[in-house]
């Protein structure tokens, strides 16, 4: 939430440099950790806070440069995290047995340092607001479309992160995948997500954002429910590939939707900060919440986990569909 108003005040360089410093520092400190509380500080707080400072400028800056092809631009930007989700786990997995945890983590830190130098030198702010605003834009709470869209995203991300957190553990625990393949399920999912975040985003410029978000979210829900019927290796791999693509639609399009819904572009940083602060809570609800449902010990309630994720995602699809019908006035063939 803080990065939005800071961005609106014109401190783009400060956000990028500070965020990059915290991410790299977090990796380096993580390589020295020996206790759980140290990991929480290094990875949870340091890298987490640094990533938050970097994320919002990356998406809030693009609407000031692009209008006609905003969806494609934001899709390419969103694909960066999926690409990292492929590269980082594989690098870690391939190096940890050769050079140990400490140096493997430092290698990831150096990769982050090199890649973050690019935006630090290239990204420039095009439009600076004429006046300083408060950290919270209270007028946003009276903007029905903004509030409705944000809540819809929150519900969907709760469901999506159930799969992100537990699909690898599910494959390993049930024996449907060996340890190596269980690990590679997430890179496979992220590789498919690269296409899911770029192709639909490019189409959204012509088709409409909600016209893609609604069916994409419905398919994600169906795929989560389909995990109830998975009983072999092929099934879990197919789910991972298709879920990676369609979850990419859900992850890539909300920033575009917010950029379009926010009429006053000078407030885009503040309002996006508010929206993603709430949406970020979905990670805490989806991951640990599903873990509480799963339970512990010898009996793990996998069916309850997938039902929880599927219901939350379907709720998001219904919410998006309702917003679409309101904006389209009940018309089916309408760009919205």
Q: Could you give the domains of the chain?
A: 3-122+139-328 (1.20.1250.20)
Query: Would you place residue 221 in the very low, low, confident or very high pLDDT band (cuts 50, 70, 90)?
Result: very high
Q: Are 270 and 137 in contact (CB under 8 A)?
A: yes
Highest-confidence segment of 49-63, 69-83, 181-195 = 181-195
Mean pLDDT, residues 24-48: 90
Mean pLDDT, residues 163-185: 87
Residues 6+ apart with CB under 8 A from 47: 22, 23, 26, 27, 30
Mean pLDDT, residues 24-47: 90
Query: Would you place residue 45 in the very low, low, confident or very high pLDDT band (cuts 50, 70, 90)?
Result: confident
Task: Using the structure block, give the residue that is written with the tokens 């007028």.
Answer: 139
On the question of pLDDT at 101 being above 70, the answer is: yes
Residues 6+ apart with CB under 8 A from 31: 101, 102, 103, 104, 105, 106, 109
Torsion sign (Cα): 52, 54, 58, 60: positive
Query: Would you place residue 238 in the very low, low, confident or very high pLDDT band (cuts 50, 70, 90)?
Result: very high
Candidates 290, 289, 287, 310; CA nearest to 301 is 290
Residues 6+ apart with CB under 8 A from 170: 176, 227, 236, 302
Helix and strand numbers, DSSP H then E, in the chain: 11, 0
Distance CA 152, CA 258 (A): 12
Looking at per-residue confidence, does 313 or 182 come out higher? 313
pLDDT score at 114? 92
Q: Which two tokens stand for residue 253?
A: 């399009």
Distance CA 59, CA 41 (A): 26
Using the 8-state DSSP alphabet, how is residue 9 labeled?
T
Using the 8-state DSSP alphabet, how is residue 69 labeled?
T
pLDDT score at 222? 94
Q: Are 199 and 295 in contact (CB under 8 A)?
A: no
Distance CA 48, CA 71 (A): 26
Mean pLDDT score across all residues of the chain = 85
Task: Using the structure block, give the residue that is written with the tokens 């631009």.
Answer: 73
Query: Would you place residue 28 in the very low, low, confident or very high pLDDT band (cuts 50, 70, 90)?
Result: very high
Q: What percent of the chain has pLDDT over 70?
A: 93
pLDDT score at 299? 62
Looking at per-residue confidence, does 33 or 75 come out higher? 33
pLDDT score at 134? 63
Query: Would you place residue 179 in the very low, low, confident or very high pLDDT band (cuts 50, 70, 90)?
Result: confident
Query: Would you place residue 143 in the very low, low, confident or very high pLDDT band (cuts 50, 70, 90)?
Result: confident
| Helix axes 233-261 and 179-207, enclosed angle (nearest 10) | 40
Looking at per-residue confidence, does 325 or 135 come out higher? 325
Burial 191-214 (b: 16+ CB within 10 A, else e): bbbbbbbbbbbbbbbeebbbbbbb
On the question of pLDDT at 205 being above 60, the answer is: yes
Distance CA 273, CA 269 (A): 6
Query: Would you place residue 120 in the very low, low, confident or very high pLDDT band (cuts 50, 70, 90)?
Result: confident
């Amino acid at each position: 939430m803080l990065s939005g108003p800071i961005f609106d005040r014109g401190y783009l360089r400060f956000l990028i440099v500070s965020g990059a410093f915290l991410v790299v520092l977090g990796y380096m400190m993580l390589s020295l950790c020996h206790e759980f509380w140290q990991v929480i500080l290094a990875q949870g707080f340091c890298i987490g806070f640094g990533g938050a400072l970097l994320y919002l400028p990356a998406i809030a800056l693009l609407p000031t440069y692009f209008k006609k092809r905003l969806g494609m631009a934001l899709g390419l930007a969103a694909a960066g995290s999926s690409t990292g989700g492929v590269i980082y786990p594989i690098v870690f997995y391939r190096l940890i047995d050769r050079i140990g945890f400490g140096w493997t983590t430092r290698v990831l830190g150096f990769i982050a340092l090199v890649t973050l130098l690019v935006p630090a030198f290239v990204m420039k702010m095009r439009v600076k607001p004429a006046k300083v605003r408060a950290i919270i834009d209270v007028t946003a709470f009276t903007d029905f479309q903004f509030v409705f869209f944000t809540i819809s995203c929150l519900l969907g991300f709760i469901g999506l992160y159930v799969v992100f957190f537990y699909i690898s553990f599910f494959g390993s625990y049930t024996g449907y995948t060996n340890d190596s393949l269980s690990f590679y399920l997430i890179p496979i999912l992220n590789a498919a997500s690269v296409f899911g975040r770029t192709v639909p985003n490019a189409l959204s410029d012509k088709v409409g954002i909600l016209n893609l978000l609604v069916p994409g979210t419905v398919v994600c829900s169906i795929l989560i429910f389909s995990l109830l019927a998975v009983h072999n290796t092929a099934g879990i791999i197919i789910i991972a590939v298709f879920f990676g693509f369609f979850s990419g639609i859900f992850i890539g399009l909300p920033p575009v939707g917010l950029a379009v819904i926010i009429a006053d572009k000078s407030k885009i940083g503040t309002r996006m900060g508010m929206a993603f602060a709430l949406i970020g809570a979905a990670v805490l609800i989806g991951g640990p919440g599903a873990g509480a449902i799963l339970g512990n010990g010898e009996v793990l309630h996998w069916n309850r986990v997938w039902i929880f994720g599927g219901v939350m995602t379907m709720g998001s699809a219904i919410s998006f569909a309702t917003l679409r019908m309101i904006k389209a006035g009940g018309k089916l063939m309408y760009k919205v």
